[in-house]
Structure 1
């Protein structure tokens, strides 16, 4: 291992012990494998999945049955490198793509490494995340970032990658008409991404007036009250569901033109009834997204060029010792993105 500055032997970490129970612990600083880098964490965004693990101790088949460090929206500075990594990378500010695929299975070989059956992903049991001071990642998944990006923006390149993946799956191109259900953090990010991709119209549907107003400030061409204002039927080219509510999905499918694409982004009900005749007769494409592949270069460009504004999403900062409060803060009225700064 090569290092330019002294790295301590131990670090503080916020560890989830069980649902609703976070404990500060002193843990060993990880040692990078030959193909890895060691990163001093700058900022960590709080994701809905972190909150779900914190409140419920599981997400579907992923169960927190042993101590786990949450947090996967992150970046920082490389402070040491493994034996096979160029020592010149020490000192680089990087955004972390928080996953480790096997890179040899059929899915990885086909370019769908997000679907790798042997994926190891930050803050997904049993893999620790980044509510701590130091983390390791394979060198190719530590993406250099320009100096004009703040630590918070670097961390939020991860949810922006979700927005990029969703718009790509929705075939959003210049001139597209896009409907987005949900005006939360991912909905606002998907909105900005659609506009950056050249969409002519982006309409956001949400039952909360404050979120509709916020969407307009981020460039939405229109907003709808999800309770009282159904979207126009057969009008949109793409529908991005960022809320996971069954009624919103059904409404969004009806709003698509023939051969339109519906992308299920939000996590909500495990099962829902879909209007099969609408899908069949319109030859609609209905798909989901599971994380992302090869999105960080685009994400970095969109933020560095000013096409996407991530700074305005941050509504609260917390220290590492305040991680539990950060996880609780997402229910605060007006909250969008909480950030932990280790």
Structure 2
């Protein structure tokens, strides 16, 4: 009892306590349940949603009302398991799925647990995140890493899962020519996923030259640089995109989520094609749906992921996907470094994925 209690007292986490204000403070762990694991966290990535909370204390409809532990892209080492746990043992390196669904509602029963209305998701208020020395989490959401997959790559399963889920929802295969709008972290993992799913031609569009050059280095077929002016008419850009695509856009992913990007994607997609909205920059959009309807372009959306960790880990193990080039910045777990890491991620620039090594 004594030892566990001492460890609990020592556990520290990065708390967001106000706008642009992070503090490393004690984080008391809950008791270990029979189906839980206690995990020593080793790698945590910063996501766009973390930056929204850091800068505005809110992300879309989620508003932070009290201090919260940050982080949800994570991997670590199992320290202790509950009496009923069979899938992992102490010492196992694991990637961690950050959302706990209820498993009782209709959506959970249908297998669409990512849409569970009772979801408890790391660092989504009021649930604390995983940027901590240790956490307690259901063991069935801990996935053992293959020997050749690093803890950092394990943490990258979270953003990669979004790309994999998008590909599944959109039925990407060897006959799908894909357009991706946005070459940020999610656009890039979507691109890597499309390739792993067999897409023969992928073109990526962005406003930033550096991000397009990263996409080029990751093996995209072609890049198109567009204007950052969100009021601009998109017809000329659409023409350029269609030319780069060989005039056949079977499927578009909007990994940004603005009026302009959705309008561009809808206009570029061929009749009878599909558009998948992945990015959520704007909560409301005004887009020309009628032109999509008369051309029978199917519009679908995705939210997070479901059952993606095993496939992500297989892609990483087999090197069908290599996420390592996306990790551009690394920080330790001191007060100064935590602040610096969030500022680096918020600035954007050359930063793609900012990673903590604990």
Distance 1:294 1:282 in 2: 33
**1:109 lines up with 2:122 in the alignment:** no
| Among candidates 287, 292, 309, match of residue 274 of structure 1 | 287
Aligned equivalent of 2:356: 340
Q: Indicate the structure with greater helix content.
A: 2
Distance, in Å, in 2 between the alignment partners of 1:61 and 1:249 is: 20
Q: Give the C-alpha shift of residue 31 in structure 1.
A: 2.9
Deviation of 1:279 after TM superposition, in Å, equals 1.8
Secondary structure at 1:52 match in 2 = helix
Match of 2:242 among 229, 232, 236: 232
Matched, 1:302 2:315: yes
Segments of 4+ moved more than 4 angstroms: none
Q: TM-score, normalised by structure 1?
A: 0.95
Could you say which residue in structure 2 is the equivalent of 1:148?
Answer: 148
* 1:88 CA drift (Å): 6.0
| 2-structure distance, mates of 1:189, 1:77 | 25
- Call closer, same or farther: CA 1:174–1:19 in 2, change over 3 Å: same
Distance in 1, Cα, partners of 2:352 & 2:219: 17
* In structure 2, distance between residues paired with 1:58 and 1:88: 35
CA contact (8 A) 2:78 2:88 kept: no
Runs of at least 5 residues in structure 2 that lack an aligned partner in the other structure? 228-235
d(CA) in 1 for partners of 2:112 and 2:91? 31
Q: Partner of 1:248: helix, strand, or coil?
A: helix
- Whether 1:247 aligns to 2:256 is no
> Are 1:170 and 1:239, in contact at CA under 8 Å, matched by a contact in 2?
no
Q: 2: CA distance between counterparts of 1:134 and 1:31?
A: 13
In structure 2, how many angstroms separate the alpha carbons of the residues matched to 1:14 and 1:168? 34
Question: Which residue is 2:223 aligned to?
Answer: 223
Look up the SS of the partner of 1:91 in the other structure: coil
Deviation, structure 1 residue 27: 2.6
8 Å CA contact 2:205, 2:225 repeated in 1: yes
Q: Which moved more, 1:185-194 or 1:258-267?
A: 258-267
The runs of 5 or more residues in structure 1 that have no matched partner are: none
Mapped to 2, the partners of 1:74 and 1:164 lie a distance apart of 17
The structural deviation recorded for 1:8 is 5.1
Alignment root-mean-square deviation, CA: 1.9
Residue 82 to residue 9, structure 1, CA distance change in 2 (3 Å):
farther
SS at match of 2:41: strand
Number of aligned pairs?
A: 340
1:29 Cα shift? 3.8
**Larger displacement relative to structure 2 (213-222 or 116-125):** 213-222
Separation in structure 2 between the aligned mates of residue 252 and residue 139 of structure 1, nearest angstrom: 40
Q: 1:280 to 1:129 in 2, by over 3 A?
A: same
SS at match of 1:95: strand
| Structure 2 residue 334 is matched with structure 1 residue 324 | no
Task: Determine the C-alpha separation between the residues in 1 that align with 2:19 and 2:54.
Answer: 5
Match of 1:262 in 2: 275
CA distance in 1 between partners of 2:88 and 2:279 (Å): 40
Higher strand share: 1
The CA distance in 1 between the partners of 2:87 and 2:106, in whole Å, is 32
For 2:88 and 2:115, how far apart are their aligned partners in 1?
32
Partner of 2:14: 14
Structure 1 residue 7, shift from structure 2 partner:
4.7
| TM-score for the superposition, normalised by structure 2 | 0.91
What's 1:187 paired with?
187
Deviation at 1:87, TM superposition (A): 8.9
1:108-142 deviations in whole A, cap 9, x for unaligned? 00010001111000000011111111112211110
**Structure 1 residue matching 2:271: 3-state secondary structure:** strand
Given the superposition, is the C-alpha separation of residues 118 and 251 from structure 1 closer, same or farther in structure 2, using an over 3 Å criterion? same
Question: Is the CA contact 1:170–1:240 (under 8 Å) kept in the aligned structure 2?
Answer: no
Aligned partners of 2:94 and 2:151 also within 8 Å? no
Contact 2:88 2:144 in 1 (8 A): no
